[in-house]
Structure formats: C-alpha cells, structure tokens
A = this chain, B = another copy of it.
Amino acid sequence: MPEIHALSDNEKQQVRDELAKRIAGFRDEGLKLDMTRGKPGPDQLDLCNGLLTSVNARNFTSRDGVDSRNYGVLDGLAQAKELFAQYMGVIPEEIIIGGNSSLNMMFDTFAQLMTRGSSTRNTPWQGRKRKFICAVPGYDRHFTICEHFGIEMLNVDMTPDGPDMDAVEKLVKHDANIVGIWCVPRYSNPTGYTCSARTVERLASMPVKCPDFRIFWDDAYAVHFLGEQPDELANLLAACKKAGNAERVLMFGSTSKVSFPGAGIAMVAAASKNIAWLNERLFAQTIGPDKINMLRHVIFFKDMEGILHHMKRQARLLAPKFQALYSILSAELGGKGIAEWTSPRGGYFISLNTPDNCARKVVALAAELGVKLTPAGATFPYHKDPRDRNIRIAPTFPELNDLKKAAEVLAVCVQYVSLT
C-alpha cells in the first residue's frame, strides 16, 4: 500500500471503512490486555528462582568474614562491590551498593543536593530556581523526581546518538541555574537508543556554567541486550576524569531487570570525592543496606560471565516478543507514512511516533478496545508531549499471543486515528 496521504478521498474512505470493521471486531472480542509497564514476565523471573534460597543457614558469612545477617558495612559487601564495579566499569572504591532500587538512590541523591549541596560546593539546591535538562522522550520517573523537588525541566531531543548535544551544550554554557541532565545512556527508555562515544565525550568535556552541574547517568539496561552481547557504551566516568570533570557524573545501575524488580540490588558509581560525599549522607541515613540480598546475588551469579549468561537466557525469552512487534508494526504501518518506531537491540521498550496530535486519541481508542497503553505524554516532562505523537510500547510482560493481539489493535488504532 502507498503512503496514506497519497490516497484519493475515495480510497481513504474505503480504508477507513475497513479499519472501522476491524475495530468493531476487536470490540466484540472483549479484550483485556495491559501494555503499560516495563515489567519482566514471570518466565524471566523464573530463571532467577535459585536466588531466593541461595543464602541459607550455612553460607551467610561473606568471604571477608562479615555476618551478612547483622549490622555493619555502610556501602556494600566487598564481594558485591567487586562484582558490580565490573558491571559498572569502575573500581570497587568507586561504587556504593544500596538497597533494592536505583530510582531510590537517585531520589536520595537529589534530596541530598537539595538540602546540603554537592561535593563541589555546600550551597543547597533548595530555595533557588534550578533547572534540569531532560532528553525526550524519556523515563517518566526521572521527570517525577524533578517535579517533586520543584526543579524546572527543559526538553532536548533524544537522537540515535543520545541527547541532542548541540542543544545541550548551548543550554549549559550560559545558564548557571541549569544544574544537571537526566540520561539513560544504553537502550534508552523508551527509544532504545545508546549514546555514541562522541556524545559521551561531549558530555564529559563541554563547558558548563553551573559549578556543580551533575549528569544523572541511569545505566538501567547495561546488560539488557536482545542479541548476543550488549551495546558498547563509552565510560562516562573515565571521560569526565580525562576532561578534568571527575565529579560531573553519577552513574546508577541495578539488577531490577536482571534478577527481581522488587528485590534486586542497586548501585551508584562515581569519582571518589562524590563517593565520600554520598557516604556522608548514608552515614546519617542508615546503619547499612541489606547485605544478605547482596550475598544472594553474588552467590547466584558468581561473576560477570554469570550475569551475561543469565541475560542471554532472558534475551531468548524477550527477543521473540520484540520481533513479533516489529513484524506486526511493519506489516500494518510500514510504508504508509503515518508512523515511525524504533527497533532497539536491547532494553524494555519501543518508541512509536504517530502523526502530530494523534497519540492521545490512539491511546484512548485502544483503551476503549481493551488494550491499556502507557498514557500519551508520559514520556515527557509534565506529561506534555508538545507534538502529542509519542507512544511507549512495553512488550516484555504480556504473553506472546496477547502481545501480538495488542500490537495489532495499536496499529489499527494508529491508522484509523491518522485518517480521521
């Protein structure tokens, strides 16, 4: 079929009638499908069930003699630091292992900046107008943190190479109130893009007006490849050090989508001065994180090879879901000039753009037909997609047949709304 906009009015009417018929058919099916969240499927979680009982009454003591059941160790078991330093591409002195949520660690880092200032200066962010750069479309929970703390958000486009660096450099050069940028550098939520080496280099070395500008580098999908190995990502901490801006970056990671989303372990990696600054707060905040759960992970995964092997098994479950989506989107929407979508090599999402001013209508129509999608606008600060066109597709949780049906409904809705 040619581009929809090249059709005559008659032809358009014919297509619309056909789509209306299919929509009526979906309605009759009484569907109930949920594609809203980037949750692992139960089959993925089952691969990790051995983790549940990997620490028992005989092996709760760490290699260096720490009783993981008792108090102590503020920044993580040595064994866990060793393994996840490798995971994050740093040395063990540059990592803190925390609780079950990297989002929590990011939020707490924000709170520390708000109330106490940074490792570079003691001026709290609280009480003055502050702004943050957000690559869009992006991760809604990052934006929620900025909203919570009353930090104004500025959009820049997410490109296949990462945030639009021309725009970023222009913004940060003159405005001292722009205190940081959010970035998911690998298989970004929702586009699936990975930052290029050049983007990493520019982020590390760009001149910045704000003396304690911070890059929140949320490497949430570090090993979440769909093929045989992860995308290469240049090491931003190394690049920042090289550029003389070692404190500029805070890198976050977690096993939320490696082991268990509610019961994984989270981490932050940074230059030693930032680690010391984070530990100052941690000392006041807690006696220490859950060390038993760290030990569970170390015993279950053993080493980086163990993690990568595990992720390959996950990829075997996930790749068919992504493939099914690509096939359906191509078959239904390909060449029609009304939608474009990303085809990530990893991560948890696909980003779909409809024609302008259609995303809300598409999501609403799909909902009517029993297919719940992430609300339109969710991938933008303040839930405002300026072109109302972006839809985040989360293919991991539904079963394959449900997913196929949901994708078909979505694709039909996109066509129908585009023609209306």
Chain A positions within 8 Å of B, measured between CB atoms, are 37, 39-40, 42, 45-46, 48-50, 52-53, 55-57, 60, 67-73, 99-101, 103-104, 107-108, 111, 114-116, 124, 126-127, 141, 144-145, 147-149, 256, 260-263, 281, 283-293
A139 to chain B, nearest CB (A): 12
- A40-B70, A262-B291 given. 8 additional CB < 8 A pairs? A48-B69, A52-B55, A69-B262, A101-B287, A101-B288, A108-B285, A126-B126, A290-B293
- Roughly how many angstroms separate A147 CA and B262 CA in the complex, as a whole number? 32
Question: Is B52 within 8 A of A67, CB to CB?
Answer: no
**Chain B residue contacts of A72, Cβ below 8 A:** 39, 262
Question: Is B263 within 8 A of A68, CB to CB?
Answer: yes
Closest to A283 in B: B144
Question: Is A104 within 8 A of B285, CB to CB?
Answer: yes
**Chain B residue contacts of A114, Cβ below 8 A:** 114-115, 126
- Roughly how many angstroms separate A62 CA and B386 CA in the complex, as a whole number? 41
Closest to A259 in B: B69
- Roughly how many angstroms separate A261 CA and B73 CA in the complex, as a whole number? 12
Question: Is B39 within 8 A of A49, CB to CB?
Answer: no
Partner of A49, one of B57, B116, B289, B290: B57
- Pick 23 A–B contacts, CB within 8 A, sort by A: A49-B60, A50-B57, A52-B56, A52-B292, A53-B53, A53-B56, A53-B57, A68-B263, A70-B261, A70-B262, A73-B262, A101-B288, A104-B286, A107-B285, A108-B111, A115-B149, A124-B126, A145-B284, A260-B292, A262-B288, A263-B290, A263-B291, A290-B290
Given A104-B286, A126-B124, A285-B107, A261 and B71 contact (CB-CB distance below 8 Å): yes
- Roughly how many angstroms separate A283 CA and B149 CA in the complex, as a whole number? 13
**Chain B residue contacts of A73, Cβ below 8 A:** 262
Question: Is A292 within 8 A of B262, CB to CB?
Answer: yes
- Which interface residue of A50, A127, A149, A284 has the most chain B CB atoms within 10 A? A284
- Roughly how many angstroms separate A124 CA and B104 CA in the complex, as a whole number? 21
Closest to A57 in B: B49
**Chain B residue contacts of A124, Cβ below 8 A:** 126
